[in-house]
Every structure is written in C-alpha cells, then in structure tokens.
Amino acid sequence: MTAPTTVTVTGAAGQIGYALLFRIASGAMLGDNPVRLRLLEIPQAVGAAEGTAMELADAAFPLLDSVDVFDDADAAFEGAEVALLVGARPRTAGMERSDLLAANAGIFGPQGRAINDHAADGIRVLVVGNPANTNALIAAAHAPDVPAERFTAMTRLDHNRGLAQLAAKLDVGVGRLRRMTVWGNHSTTQVPDPSHVLLDGEPVGFDAAWLAEHFVPTVANRGAAIIAARGASSAASAASAAIDHVRDWVLGTPEGTGSRWRCRAVANTPCPRGS
Ligand SMILES: NC(=O)c1ccc[n+]([C@@H]2O[C@H](COP(=O)([O-])OP(=O)(O)OC[C@H]3O[C@@H](n4cnc5c(N)ncnc54)[C@H](O)[C@@H]3O)[C@@H](O)[C@H]2O)c1
C-alpha cells in the first residue's frame, strides 16, 4: 500500500478549512493516495477543529489515514509534505495596514520557522491567508533551509474566476479553455490576462472594451461581490482553488495548461506537443 502523504492545514476550523478538508480527504487534491491530516488552530478554536475531525471520521473516506488536531505549530508541521496555510488575522474596522502586517508576521514567521525545523524535505507550501503574497514571503524568510520556490501564494481563485467569466462570455464550458493568466498581486490591482487563452486549442480574441470595462473589474472585485451577495467571504471557491493549485503542483498541470513555461524555464527541456 502507498504510504500516506502528510498534509498540514492551518485555520482548520474556519470556513475555508471546512470546505477544504473534506475534499482533501476524498482524494480531490492528491489523487488516489492516502492522506494523513494534521490540523492547526488557535487554542480557542481547537474544539471546533476537533468537531470537524469527528465529521471527517464519520465521512469514512477510504483514503483518510488519520486526523490530528494541534494548537502548536512545531507539532502540526512535523513531517508535513504539503502545508496549506489558511489561518490568518483578518483586517478589522479601524485597523491600519501596518497593524495587519504586524499581526500576520506574528503568525507566518513562527509557522515558517516550524516548517523549516519540522516539515519533510520536499515540503510544498500554499499560503491562502491574506495578505497571501506578503504572508508567503514572511513564511519563506523564516525558513532558510527550505528552497524559496517551495512557498507559493494563492492566485488560483482569481485564475478560476477569470476562466468562469470567459466561459460565460463565449457560452462554452470552462473545460474547453486553457492558458488563463493573472499578473500581479492577489488584490484589486491584479491584471487578469486572457490574451493567450485557447478555446479547444485555438486562439480566441476578446473585445478590448469588454475586457477593460467588464472582465478585469469583475475578476478583480469578485471577492467583494461575493461578500455583498452572501454576507460572508468566498469559502468553497477558495477551497476549490487551493485544491486545484496543489493538485496541479504535485500531480502536474493538465495537458495544454501552461506546461510550456515550466518545461522551458524550469526543466530546460523541450515542451511536449500541445502543451
Ligand atoms: N488567496 C485567496 O484567494 C483567498 C480567498 C479567500 C479567502 N482568503 C483568506 O483566507 C483566510 C481564511 O479565510 P476563512 O474565510 O477561512 O476565515 P475564517 O475566519 O473563517 O477562518 C480562519 C481560521 O484561522 C484560524 N487561525 C487564526 N490564526 C491562526 C493561527 N495562528 N494558527 C492557526 N489557525 C489560526 C482562526 O481561528 C479561524 O478558525 C483569510 O485570511 C482570507 O482573507 C484568501
């Protein structure tokens, strides 16, 4: 039998955590591979995380090897091969950006150190908690023994939002589109870019005015639109994007989905046809 992969998830009792953990346990993230879940929460939320662990057990996932709950980062990251850093300090009313960064540095600095000292050698880290890019940088800076490219910040939700808008505009299924790009930060200043998008493998053009006036602002402001409609921030779609990000990173991108960059720039090998 294949040895289980150890996956650590922080913020496990939060709304993204609740949507994420069941999909990891089902095999949606790592395929037909058993998983060992290690959940990290703050002490006040450990009880809620234990409730989620009970539900995970009750779901009887054949691929779920074990679930353990911790309030100590060193223990939670022990042997981790994949880490999803979801828990973060949200910005509250009256909070300056500098206060937000300081509060998150107090979370992601120690977690980076714990990853450095306790995770498996091949650890892959996805930072979801906002401000995701800055938090990833902080975590990486505290893990000098882990190659920096092992720390990533999530833009996949913006990517998926872009694909959904394009598919609706073209009136096609999202699965027929490839090579969506998002430049910049996970924030309203991002630049979603469909200029390399292929429909069924063929280039497709979009009206410049539609892109500037509808597409870019819709994708960049989608988070706020979800909050306005739902009364809570994106959770299931964020969890789904995290699953997509890690699955493609660990198992490889589907054919025709941007492997050209990877095979040229990273592996320095010729790209397979159709990539
Ligand atoms: N990158 C993206 O595309 C994206 C999309 C949506 C949300 N987010 C961000 O993801 C984060 C989580 O969102 P949510 O809706 O699940 O929030 P939430 O408030 O429902 O849950 C956050 C959880 O993190 C926990 N937590 C706080 N500090 C922690 C610490 N030091 N260690 C472990 N756990 C800790 C909290 O107890 C809570 O259970 C937020 O920062 C949110 O802004 C990012």
Instruction: Give residue 258's pLDDT.
Output: 58
pLDDT at 182 over 60: yes
Indicate if ligand 1 lies below 6 Å from the C-beta of 242: no
Instruction: Tell which one of 42, 77, 186 to mutate to probe ligand 1, the residue whose CB is within 8 A of the most ligand atoms.
Output: 42
Indicate if ligand 1 lies below 6 Å from the C-beta of 13: yes
Q: Nearest residue CA, atom 29 of ligand 1?
A: 87
> What average pLDDT does this structure show over 9-16?
97
Which of 198, 179, 205 has the alpha carbon at shortest distance from 261? 179
DSSP 2-31: PPPEEEEEESTTSHHHHHHHHHHHHTTTTS
The pLDDT-based confidence of 123 (bands split at 50, 70, 90) is very high
> What average pLDDT does this structure show over 157-175?
97
> What average pLDDT does this structure show over 46-67?
98
**CA-CA distance, 7 to 111, in Å (whole number)?**
14
Indicate if ligand 1 lies below 6 Å from the C-beta of 234: yes
Q: Nearest residue CA, atom 18 of ligand 1?
A: 14
> What average pLDDT does this structure show over 128-135?
95
pLDDT at 271 over 90: no
The per-residue pLDDT of the chain, averaged, comes to: 92
Burial of 28 (0-12, 13-18, 19+ CB in 10 A): middle
Which of 84, 82, 74 has the alpha carbon at shortest distance from 123? 82
Q: Whole-structure pTM over 0.90, yes or no? A: yes
Helices (H) and strands (E) in the chain, counts: 11, 11
214-240 pLDDT, tens digit each: 999 999 999 999 999 999 999 999 999
Instruction: Tell which one of 86, 111, 115, 237 to mutate to probe ligand 1, the residue whose CB is within 8 A of the most ligand atoms.
Output: 86
> What's the DSSP call for residue 148?
G
Instruction: Say how many Å lie between the CA of residue 244 and the centre of ligand 1.
Output: 18
66-96 pLDDT, tens digit each: 999 999 999 999 999 999 999 998 877 788 8
Instruction: Give residue 260's pLDDT.
Output: 44
Measured from the CA of 107, which atom of ligand 1 is nearest? Answer: 31
168-178 pLDDT, tens digit each: 999 999 999 99
Peptide bond into 62 cis (omega under 30): no
Report ipTM (2 d.p.): 0.98
Instruction: Say how many Å lie between the CA of residue 83 and the centre of ligand 1.
Output: 14
